[in-house]
Structure formats: structure tokens, C-alpha cells
Amino acid sequence: MNRAHCFVIFLALIFITSQAQTQSIIFHPQPLPSFKINNTQVSQSAASCSYTVTITTSCSSPKYTRDQISLSFGDAYGYQVYAPRIDDPSTGTFERCSVDTYQITGPCLYSVCYLYLYRSGYDGWKPESVQVYGYYTGSVTFYYDTFIPNGVWYGFNYCSRASGPKTTTSWLGHVFQVVFCIECWKGLFGSM
């Protein structure tokens, strides 16, 4: 095998393994009809923490909404913070181009890795982003920039992103890269 072939195959392996790493990332919110509010975790948790939630409504959202909006976020260990009915049409929440900030108390989370919004009504609503900040969890932002469908929990779940098939695929790809490099080295410069 000559140098040019080795180089092209090596670049192809790098591209394939890097694509395997990025395919598991969810860039757009997804509906989750089976999502359930976990009320038992709140009552069992001895410690409670405060979270600052900042919701930016898109400038392409309707001028205002009278829809009922609820929010839930949590960690990979099953701890969940639930805020029912964070909307208040009389105060102008979720108006077009607005930023609304809430102080929400719930169980202490290890790291916020999922967030879902629930909308019930007929006006429609398009959030741009939702940022959650906690003293122990730091800050995480979920980018929506799309209309929330009516009557379904809609959002992101990154909890299992760090494990599973992606890690295995990435690890195997790198093993193949190393073996291939050793074989190319032997072919180009003789045995080691």
C-alpha cells in the first residue's frame, strides 16, 4: 500500500468516527407524549434548591399568548423540578420578544440534562431559549426557536448522550485508526 492510499484511508476513518460521535446529539426539540411528572421525588428529597429559569420568547411568536405554559427539567438520576402554570397573561408573560425570569424551588439536581415545556391553549407560543441556572448545577441553555405544539411535553433530553453506542462506536473507530496506522508504518518503513 503506498503513502497516498494510506493517507486517504486514514482521513476516511477519522471522518467516519467523528460522524459517529455527532449523530447522537439532538439539535431540535422533540415531543415526548409519554413524559410523566415525577411527584414522588419531590416529597422524598430532603434537600431543596433554588433555580433561576430565564425564558426568551421569539420575536416571531404571536404578540401575546393566553395559553397555559408548564415547565419541567431534571437530571439523569430521576430528580425532577416541575413548575405548573408559569404563565400569567395579565402581567404580559411570554409576549413577543420578551424575557421572563422565574425563581423555582425543587429537589437538588446533579446536572440539568433535560427540559420540557407543555402548552395548552389556542394562541400558540414560540420560545427562543430556556436557560436554567442553579448554584450547584451551573447554567445550561436549551434552544427552541420553534412553536410548542399543543397538549404534549416538548423539549430536549441529553441525559444519556454521554454513554451508550456513541462511546462504543468512537472507541472502536479509534482502535481501527491505531491498527491501520501501525500497518501503514510497517508498509512504508518496514517492520518496527
Q: Please give the pLDDT value at position 116.
A: 98
**C-alpha distances out from residue 134 to 10, 57, 71, Å:** 44, 21, 16
Low-confidence residues of the chain: pLDDT under 70 = 1-26, 39-46, 161-192
Q: Which domains does the chain have, with CATH numbers?
A: 49-157 (2.60.60.20)
Q: Please give the pLDDT value at position 162.
A: 45
Q: Please give the pLDDT value at position 189.
A: 59
Q: Please give the pLDDT value at position 6.
A: 54
